């Protein structure tokens, strides 16, 4: 049995996901904890549930999805995953924080490891197939978990909406093409865990997403 727990963190109301199995093997996706209180919430959840954190995985490297990366990497001695096509975006983390007027609480870490698109990510019973879905960010990926019939899709697809494409590396037409090719080909009942806001499903978005129904 695999469980997905959602937390909403930071000034951008970003969704952070903890995915864990019945043996307490856990993975955190897009850790967005910015404030120390948010770090404590995450640490307490891990401790109270006796979770063994095996990996930190990022769908992309925008700051709101990586505020908590340094804390987790240091505390749990992990090398976070990020697809290499987003490494360049990650290098601008501090500059983007300054642009938004957000004080940098912790320096970004350097020991990232790239995600292999052709290899399944396996941590105990927590398993993800990876698909490359650019458009919102140059190296954006999504994580498909067959055990829960779900996809954790970062900022590609939202409930009746899509990710913004006006940031550096964004491309509106590429995002639409990527969603149609890599997400809308999933089973319609697939649950979509989004980077912001509520969950949705592939079937609902095929029928109701105004950005993709033309």
- Cα–Cα distance for residue pair 9/119, rounded to 1 Å: 30
Structural domains in the chain (count): 1
In a domain, 7, yes or no: yes
- C-alpha triplet 70, 41, 156: angle, nearest 5°: 65
Asked if the structure places residue 173 within a domain, the reply is: yes
- 124 within some domain: yes
CA–CA gap between residue 214 and residue 14 (Å, rounded):
29
Q: Is residue 49 part of a domain?
A: yes
Q: Is the pTM of this model over 0.85?
A: yes
Range of the domain at 104: 2-208
Split at pLDDT 50, 70, 90, the class of 167 is confident
Tokens 């969704």 correspond to what residue?
Answer: 15
Q: What is the pLDDT of residues 71-111, one digit of tens each?
A: 999 999 999 999 999 998 888 888 888 888 889 888 778 88
Q: Which has the closest alpha carbon to 54: 32, 24, 34, 84?
A: 24
Residue range 179-193, pLDDT digits in tens: 999 999 999 999 999
- The CATH number covering residue 116 comes to 3.60.15.10
- Considering the domain boundaries, does residue 214 fall inside one? no
- Is 213 a domain residue? no
């Amino acid at each position: 049995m695999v469980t997905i727990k959602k937390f909403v963190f930071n000034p951008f109301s970003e969704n952070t996901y903890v995915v864990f199995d019945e043996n307490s093997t856990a993975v955190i996706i897009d850790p967005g904890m910015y404030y120390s209180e948010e770090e404590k919430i995450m640490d307490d959840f891990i401790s109270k549930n006796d979770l063994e954190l095996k990996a930190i995985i990022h769908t992309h490297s925008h700051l709101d999805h990586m505020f908590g990366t340094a804390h987790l990497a240091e505390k749990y001695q992990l090398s976070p995953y990020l697809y290499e096509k987003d490494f360049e975006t990650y290098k601008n983390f501090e500059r983007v924080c300054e642009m938004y007027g957000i004080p940098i609480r912790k320096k970004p870490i350097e020991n990232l490891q790239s995600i292999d698109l052709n290899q399944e990510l396996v941590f105990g019973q927590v398993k993800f197939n990876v698909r490359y879905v650019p458009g919102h960010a140059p190296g954006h990926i999504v994580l498909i978990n067959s055990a829960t019939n779900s996809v954790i899709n970062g900022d590609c697809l939202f409930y009746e909406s899509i990710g913004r494409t006006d940031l550096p590396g964004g491309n509106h037409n590429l995002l639409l093409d990527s969603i149609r090719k890599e997400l809308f080909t999933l089973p319609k009942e697939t649950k979509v865990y989004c980077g912001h806001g509520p969950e949705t499903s592939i079937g609902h978005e095929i029928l109701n997403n105004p950005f993709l129904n033309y």
